Structure 1
Amino acid sequence: LDDLGFDAGDSSGARKLRSWLEGGVEARPANVRLAVTSNRRAIVERHLSEQDDPINPRDAVDDRLALADRFGLSLGFHNCTQDEYLAIIAGYAAHYGLAYAEADALEWSKRRGGRSGRVAWQYVNELAGRAGRSLS
């Protein structure tokens, strides 16, 4: 599933998916694995005010976080320094035989709002496209 996310008011969608993942709908086949991506740090939207209810404030939070707990691996694309960003690009560019200019790579990161491994990979994909090459 690509770009999974639930709005704050959509608790039933997250519960249904959670039940399905736990085998509540049907038994999980041995030969199937599910990979999910999300652009959010937390799959379910959260707010600072969600613990304002004085009666069992953790219950609502725990219910929303229960879906995210079903996934054993979480990868983040965190910001990196300029040197790290350029080193990532240099590694990819060398591997794929692509030429690039550091100034162009830095401009790319500015237009994308930051430097990360993800932004570096997107830049390398752009380089390949400019060169008419596939990365596969």
Structure 2
Amino acid sequence: MTSKRISGAELDLKVNPAELSARQRQALLAGLNHAAEETRTYAVELTPKDRGILRASAEVSVDPVELEAAISYNTTYAVYVHERLELRHRIGEAKFLEKAMIAKAGDIEAIVGKYLEKVFQ
């Protein structure tokens, strides 16, 4: 069994990754990708917008070896904007990715679960 903790959201997978078939592994990766994309979409809505560069830089990556998905922002200032609570934004807010992870925690588990249900039946 494996459990992953991600910025306030925990996904408890009741599977042993070493025992997954190729088909089950592919389903898990597809579910992780789908869940991460849903979370990225919500995080972008919360991301502060000046010219839109930060929002446009959000991307999802899935590691097929570690069976993990990540959402990242590809700008030099993403961490600064995310962490600085005292900054005021006309559009968006600080802690945009963290808030999205917390808000979508239940959805993440449900999405991944649906992908796994299909191959474990």
Is this a same-fold pair by TM over 0.5? no
Taking structure 2 as the reference length, the TM-score comes to: 0.30
Q: Which has the higher strand share?
A: 2
TM-score, scaled relative to structure 1: 0.27
